[in-house]
């Protein structure tokens, strides 16, 4: 199973930062058991959403030659839950200390302006062509950005 956890890329500055949205829908299968009769989006999937958004930043910053794979979470704090019906606004920023093969990022997620998650993480930068068809990913990025 593959979860696509970024519903929209709102803005970006190549090599520096990106903003995106995740809409939490009641129909998402992970909500059925997390938790029964009290659905909340799992925190680990929010971290995965940050990793996917970071992948899009690496891709758009490299003319779709690179992608990001998370390898380590330095720090993560949760301040509340993301619930069905919420629109999670995510911001990712590249941090100093990144190298060509490994990057460090920080992220913050908000719902209706209220902080829900902060995270600092690092990962490997790999060739996008190792895992995806580049032309298909370019098309998908146009969908996520509404052609911006």
State the catalytic residues: 34
- What gap in Å lies between CA 70 and CA 79, rounded to an integer? 22
Cα(72)–Cα(60) distance, rounded to whole angstroms?
22
Q: How far apart are CA 138 and CA 27, in angstroms?
A: 28
Q: Sheet holding 8-13: strands in order across?
A: 8-13, 17-23, 87-94, 102-111, 114-127, 66-78
d(CA 69, CA 94): 14
Cβ 84 vs Cβ 25: under 8 Å: yes
Q: What gap in Å lies between CA 144 and CA 130, rounded to an integer?
A: 22
């Amino acid at each position: 199973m593959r979860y696509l956890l970024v519903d929209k890329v709102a803005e970006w500055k190549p090599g520096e930062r990106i903003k995106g949205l995740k809409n939490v829908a009641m129909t998402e299968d992970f909500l059925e058991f997390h938790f029964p009769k009290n659905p909340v989006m799992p925190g680990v999937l929010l971290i995965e959403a940050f990793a996917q958004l970071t992948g899009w930043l690496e891709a758009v910053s490299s003319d779709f030659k690179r992608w990001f794979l998370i390898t380590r979470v330095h720090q993560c704090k949760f301040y509340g839950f993301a619930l069905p019906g919420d629109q999670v606004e995510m911001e990712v920023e590249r941090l100093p200390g990144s190298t060509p093969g490994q990057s460090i990022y920080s992220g913050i997620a908000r719902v209706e302006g209220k902080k829900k998650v902060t995270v600092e993480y690092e990962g490997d930068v790999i060739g996008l062509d190792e895992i995806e068809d580049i032309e298909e990913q370019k098309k998908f990025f146009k969908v996520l950005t509404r052609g911006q």
